[in-house]
Structure 1
Amino acid sequence: MVNGAMTIHGGCSAYLVDICSTLAIIVYTLSSGRPVNTVSQSINMTYHSPAGLGEELRIVSTTMTIGSKTLIARTEIWSDTTKRLVASGVHSKMEPSQAKL
């Protein structure tokens, strides 16, 4: 999942932020006895430096806010090879409203 420059594609970084931040929120809510179903509200990405093909990546996800309606986590993607921050993202999730039939 690299681009023409043989570095990680921005869409791949956003996908990793989506999955890993969701896992952080799931683990937190399950451990607190409040499992919830959520949907994405927004993902805000910042790209800091490229990570080339073959570089080892380290992903760190942290829950920031677990409110009654909104749940927010931050994810950082680091290059273990260069020790540089590659990308970071803040993911806001919410509980979906019930369907009105």
Structure 2
Amino acid sequence: MESPFKEDIVRGKVALITGGGSGIGLEISTQFGQHGASIAIMGRRKQVLDSAVSALQSLGIKAVGFVGDVLSRKMRKELWNQLSSILDGLTFL
């Protein structure tokens, strides 16, 4: 399916997709990445995240995965610190 959006509409932006390792979340990650965003995905299953990150990277998308639960305040703080150093912050959640 052809996208109605400009190819680089989110170039230079960083998107965090919770549950981005499979299903709709993975497709959202893929679409953001194909339109120029760097992708951070978060989920609870490391094997699923690793597979998704590999798939995104094979498409030329800059992607990283974080294992954790977004409901944890401590985890959110750690995630923010890591995103700030690895991907220069966060644009979309």
Short-chain TM bin: under 0.3
Given the two structures, how large is their TM-score scaled by the length of structure 2? 0.26
| Higher strand residue share | 1
